[in-house]
Every structure is written in structure tokens, then in C-alpha cells.
Amino acid sequence: MSIAENIARIRENMAAAAREAGREPGEITLVGASKMNDADACRQAIAAGIDALGENRVQEMVQKLEQHAYDGAPLHFIGHLQRNKVNKVVGHVALIQSVGSAELLEAVGKAAAARDLVQDVLLEVNIGREAAKSGFLPEELFAGAEAALENPHVRVRGLMTIPPADADRDTNMRYFEQVRTLYVDINEKLFHNELEYLSMGMSGDYADAIRAGATMVRVGSAIFGARHYS
Ligand SMILES: *Cc1c(COP(=O)(O)O)cnc(C)c1O
């Protein structure tokens, strides 16, 4: 299967899940998670109409930016971001999906201020309370969002989450629903219902995520094929 065929099939599945949930297929954004795939694969995804590409590793993203891998589509940063690398990301991507702590939020704001711009971000929620994972705990999210609202150089566009990898399907679905509840709540209480993006769901569970309310899914291997870690 080609990248274009994979994207077409995923779009059909996304549309079916959206309709099941009583929503418009067109309101869900497909982000291609292109880590470990080369510039040519990125270009194929863009030619096939992917809505955005998302990268995880700063170094790989910088290299592929130099190769103009992302020309023609918005670029997102979706991976763990270290504070000492924010300068290589802020202002270079349309959206940082993985802002998961007050410290990182402040560092992003500082880098954006130095460049005299406003960086769009999603707040990442650590819904499974995993020690090894970044992200705001649910009870920290409100304060994180309030800090973001006070920072003129960051603009929160929504939430992102990655549930624990070992959750069974029902548990996974419950995690998605919990994040959706948080999203609706902070959207109403803090953002005048102007948030647009609830980013959740990957190759194995994007249809469930859409059923649970995702407006953005991040799909890697189902588009680009299995990644080979050496
Ligand atoms: C790799 C990655 C994805 C996509 O994972 P697949 O299972 O290959 O679809 C989504 N989100 C993030 C943050 C990732 O790192």
C-alpha cells in the first residue's frame, strides 16, 4: 500500500467514526506522525492531502526542515520537548502539541517573546498519571491553562493526550472520555469555547478517539508503515 492509499483509507475510517458520533468528517484534522520517515515520505503525504505533519525529535525535524520536507503543509511538534531545545522549535512550527508543564510553558513563552511572536500550543494531559510521561496531571491543568492565559506569547488552542500504551480498549476509551470532559470544562470556563483542538488517537485507536470527541488525530505507522528501530 502506498502512502496515498493509506491516507485515503484512514480518511474513510475517520469519516465513518465521525458520522457514528454525529459529527462532520471535515472537522477532524489528520496529522501525519512522520518520525523516522524521510523527506520523500513527508512529501508524498503532503501530496496526498495530509492536513499537517508532526515530528518528535528536534534534531530530525531540523534536518528535514533544511531539506524542505514539510513545504506545503503545517508542521507540528508532538514529542517530548526539552527546555534547552525550545529555541529550535518555537517559531518554526505552527503548533507545539506537547506543552506539559508550567516550566516548559514559560520557556516557550520566553523564546516566543524573544522572536516577537505568539506560539500556538496544546497543553498535554498525562491522563494515565504515568511517572515516565510528561504532561499536566488533570488536577494541574486548570492552573496551567490560567498561566498560559496570562502569557501574551503563547496561545492555547486545545489539549493533547497519549494514554498508557498498555491500556485495554475499554480503559483506553475511558481515558479519551476523561480528557474530553476536561477539554469541554476548561473550554467553557477559561476559553470562551474558542478551543478547537482535542488531539488524541494514533494508528491503533484513532477511530475510538474520534468517537470519544477527538478533533485531531496523530497517525504514524498506519500511514508510513512500521518504524524500524535499530
Ligand atoms: C509516533 C507518535 C504518534 C503516532 O504513532 P503510531 O502508533 O505510529 O500511529 C502519535 N503521537 C505521538 C506523540 C507520537 O510520538
Q: What is the pLDDT of residue 88?
A: 98
Q: What pLDDT score was predicted for residue 116?
A: 98
Q: Tens digit of pLDDT for each residue in 148-186? A: 999 999 999 999 999 999 999 999 999 999 999 999 999
Residue 18 belongs to a domain: yes
Q: What is the pLDDT of residues 88-143, one digit of tens each?
A: 999 999 999 999 999 999 999 999 999 999 999 999 999 999 999 999 999 999 99
| Domain around 184 | 3-220
Indicate whether 229 pLDDT > 80.
no
From the alpha carbon of 78, which atom of ligand 1 is closest?
A: 13
What's at 107, amino acid-wise?
A
Interacting residues of 215 by C-beta distance below 8 A, sequence separation 6+: 27, 28, 29, 158, 196, 197, 198, 199
pLDDT at 51: 98
How many angstroms is it from 147 CA to the middle of ligand 1? 28
pTM, two decimal places: 0.97
Ligand 1 pocket, 218 CB below 6 A?
yes
pLDDT above 70: residue 230: no
- Measured from the Cα of 222, ligand 1's closest atom is 9
Per DSSP, helices labelled H in the chain are 3-20, 39-47, 58-66, 102-114, 138-149, 169-190, 206-211, 221-224
Rounded distance from Cα 133 to ligand 1 centre (Å): 14
Asked if the structure places residue 228 within a domain, the reply is no
Mean pLDDT of 201-208: 98
Report pLDDT for 227.
Answer: 83
Give the confidence band of 12 by pLDDT, cuts at 50, 70, 90: very high
Q: Quick one: which atom of ligand 1 is closest to the CA of 98?
A: 13
Atom of ligand 1 nearest to the CA of 204: 7
- Alpha carbon 173 to chain centroid distance? 18
| Cα dist from 214 to 3, 28, 126, 154, 206, whole Å | 23, 7, 16, 22, 8
CATH number of the CATH domain containing 66: 3.20.20.10
| Separation of CA 31 and ligand 1 centre (Å) | 10
Cβ-based neighbours of 75, under 8 Å, separated by 6 or more: 52, 53, 54, 55, 61, 65, 92, 93, 94
The reply to whether 98 falls in a domain is: yes
Residue 230 included in any domain: no
Average pLDDT value for residue range 7-24: 97
Q: Is 56 in the pocket of ligand 1 (CB under 6 A)?
A: yes
Residue whose Cα lies nearest atom 11 of ligand 1: it is 218
Calculate how far, in angstroms, residue 189's C-alpha sits from the geometric centre of ligand 1.
30
| Number of other CB atoms surrounding residue 190 within 10 Å | 17
The total of structural domains in the chain comes to: 1
pLDDT band at 1 (very low <50, low <70, confident <90, very high): confident
CB of 47 within 8 A of CB of 4? yes
Report yes or no on 227 lying in a domain: no
Question: Do the domain assignments include residue 67?
Answer: yes
In a domain, 202, yes or no: yes
Q: Choose one of 134, 208, 218 to mutate for the ligand 1 pocket test, by most ligand atoms within 8 angstroms of C-beta.
A: 218
Q: Does residue 116 fall inside a structural domain? A: yes
